């Protein structure tokens, strides 16, 4: 049975890295002491070692050990034998390209579908959808495919922002960008606001956190769903 936490962001305003999620993570990873960390998204271009150190510090607060996948000579085997996975945020295009480069896509998808608990934040959440086409990231590298892991039957837009009527910014809103996406793609999109996450247990997908999420379906007016809502109906 699939077990995922698909999280909009690792850090909310006024808190340290993953601090607001630690109670949830302690329960989510209750059956494993060691978690395999995939730092390939490299936020701000930091190294794999630097990123892993940040994750280690956060998980040490709940007595969990983080091991970076880059420290293994055989990353495929590391995924096959792990008991928990965390894919951190950063650049979704870089993450996707590196997963392909290391031939990890199929193995990662297989073990998660078999029940290994998976935590994704930001870019690590983007790749859970049908494609990475609704990321906010710049395409700084070119992955061989824009396909996601297809662990949920829709796309995700982490860090979703509502239009600010007081802003002087004249560029496109997130809602406009997703509307553009739906001119060429049919799948639903979930706009996850900061501090929100999707919990997946088998076929059940539930919104968690204090905020609503915005749902975009092709040829429909966007609408809000409350925390606690199941969204298994989306296809």
Q: What is the pTM of this model?
A: 0.96
What CATH number did the domain enclosing 7 receive? 3.40.50.880
Q: What are the tokens at 133?
A: 């086409």
Output the pLDDT for position 177.
96
Residue 188 located in a structural domain? yes
Report residue 56's pLDDT band, with 50, 70 and 90 as the boundaries: very high
Closest alpha carbon to 234 in 217, 220, 221:
217
Residue 179 located in a structural domain? yes
Question: What is the total count of domains within the chain?
Answer: 1
Q: Which residues are catalytic?
A: 122, 137, 159
Residue 233 located in a structural domain? no
Q: Which domain holds residue 15?
A: 3-225
> What average pLDDT does this structure show over 129-139?
98
Output the pLDDT for position 96.
98
Residue 231 located in a structural domain? no
DSSP three-state, residue 81: helix
In the block, tokens 């989510």 appear at 28
Average pLDDT for the chain: 96
Residue 203 located in a structural domain? yes
Report residue 18's pLDDT band, with 50, 70 and 90 as the boundaries: very high
Residue 19 located in a structural domain? yes
Report residue 8's pLDDT band, with 50, 70 and 90 as the boundaries: very high
Residue 106 located in a structural domain? yes
Output the pLDDT for position 215.
98
Output the pLDDT for position 169.
67
Residue 184 located in a structural domain? yes
Q: What percent of the chain has pLDDT over 90?
A: 92
Output the pLDDT for position 170.
57
Q: List C-alpha distances in Å: 221 to 4, 185, 217.
A: 28, 16, 7
């Amino acid at each position: 049975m699939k077990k995922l936490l698909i999280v909009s962001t690792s850090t909310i305003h006024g808190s340290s890295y993953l601090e607001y999620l630690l109670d949830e993570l302690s329960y989510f990873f209750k059956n494993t002491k060691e978690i395999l960390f995939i730092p390939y998204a490299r936020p701000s271009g930091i190294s794999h070692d630097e990123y892993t150190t940040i994750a280690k510090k956060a998980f040490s607060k709940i007595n969990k050990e983080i091991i970076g996948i880059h420290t293994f000579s055989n990353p495929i085997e590391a995924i096959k034998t792990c008991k928990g996975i965390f894919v951190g945020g950063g650049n979704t295009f870089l993450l996707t390209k590196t997963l392909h480069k290391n031939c990890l896509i199929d193995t990662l998808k297989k073990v998660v579908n078999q029940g290994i608990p998976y935590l994704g934040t930001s870019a690590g959440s983007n790749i859970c959808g049908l494609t990475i086409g609704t990321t906010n990231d710049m395409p700084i590298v070119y992955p061989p495919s824009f396909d996601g892991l297809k662990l949920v039957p829709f796309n995700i837009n982490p860090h979703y922002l509502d239009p600010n009527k007081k802003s002087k910014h004249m560029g496109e809103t997130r809602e406009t960008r997703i509307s553009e996406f739906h001119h060429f793609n049919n799948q639903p999109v979930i706009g996850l606001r900061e501090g929100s996450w999707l919990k997946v247990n088998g076929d059940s997908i539930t919104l968690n956190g204090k905020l609503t999420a915005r749902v975009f379906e092709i040829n429909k007016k966007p609408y809000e769903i409350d925390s606690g809502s199941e969204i298994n109906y989306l296809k």
